[in-house]
Amino acid sequence: SQKIEQNSEALNIQEGKTATLTCNYTNYSPAYLQWYRQDPGRGPVFLLLIRENEKEKRKERLKVTFDTTLKQSLFHITASQPADSATYLCALDPLGGGYNKLIFGAGTRLAVHP
Amino acid sequence: NAGVTQTPKFQVLKTGQSMTLQCAQDMNHEYMSWYRQDPGMGLRLIHYSVGAGITDQGEVPNGYNVSRSTTEDFPLRLLSAAPSQTSVYFCASRALTGGRLDTQYFGPGTRLTVL
């Protein structure tokens, strides 16, 4: 069956370090992969989108990589801050363009300690 | 722009009651969706719409109905609430830009408890 997995355990890091979150998937050939941030009691907020023909995407302190051979995406936050503490969700868009069936992972909670 | 709005924020129902969760967006997006989020699970798609008058089922549609009479509004109806429908419900919308789906915007969610 189709599956998307994120680390269920919380990731605890010290302020200033780089946080790396992992998203693994099976039985998909995704066209797009997206990362979202979700704070407690709020809806997810879109952060970055990476397409199947892109290896890496950056936005300020955020970096996403997409390895379609390993079926894995890594999400990096450099120079992390306590304000980065949240749950981060990855989502696959299996077909891209014309369809709206995003498939979400359960998310990884990040805690950045001062 | 208010973005995607949802009402109510919280709701408690008894088993067998019906209700409608409201969702509205003011961004003129063609695509709208309803998801539910349960602890330890990813967001799961309930129903979605690709435009006014057009809806389709997602991964977990049983027990829910939708309609889309306008671009702005996409209500979700629970026909006969069951405890298994206790969850947090999110509405979302996306634009179709240059033939490709754009960023998805989520509403703040409705926390529903069915007793």
What pLDDT, on a 0 to 100 scale, did the predictor assign at position A97?
Answer: 46
Contacts of A77 (CB under 8 A, 6+ apart): A18, A19, A61, A62, A84, A110
Rg (CA), chain B: 14
- The string of pLDDT tens digits covering residues B68-83 is 999 999 999 999 999 9
Taking an 8 Å cut-off on Cβ atoms, the answer to whether B43 and A99 are in contact is no
Q: Give the distance from residue A109's alpha carbon to the nearest chain B alpha carbon, in angstroms.
A: 11
What pLDDT, on a 0 to 100 scale, did the predictor assign at position B101?
Answer: 67
Q: Give the distance from residue B109's alpha carbon to the nearest chain A alpha carbon, in angstroms.
A: 6
**B92-109 mean pLDDT:** 82
- The string of pLDDT tens digits covering residues A12-33 is 999 999 999 999 998 777 778 8
What pLDDT, on a 0 to 100 scale, did the predictor assign at position A32?
Answer: 83
Could you tell me which residues of chain A have a Cβ less than 8 Å from any Cβ in chain B? 4, 8, 34, 41-46, 49, 89, 91, 93, 96-107
pLDDT of A8 above 70:
yes
Cα(A21)–Cα(A37) distance, integer angstroms: 12
Q: Which of A34, A95, A102, A104 to mutate to test the interface with B (most CBs of B within 10 A)?
A: A102
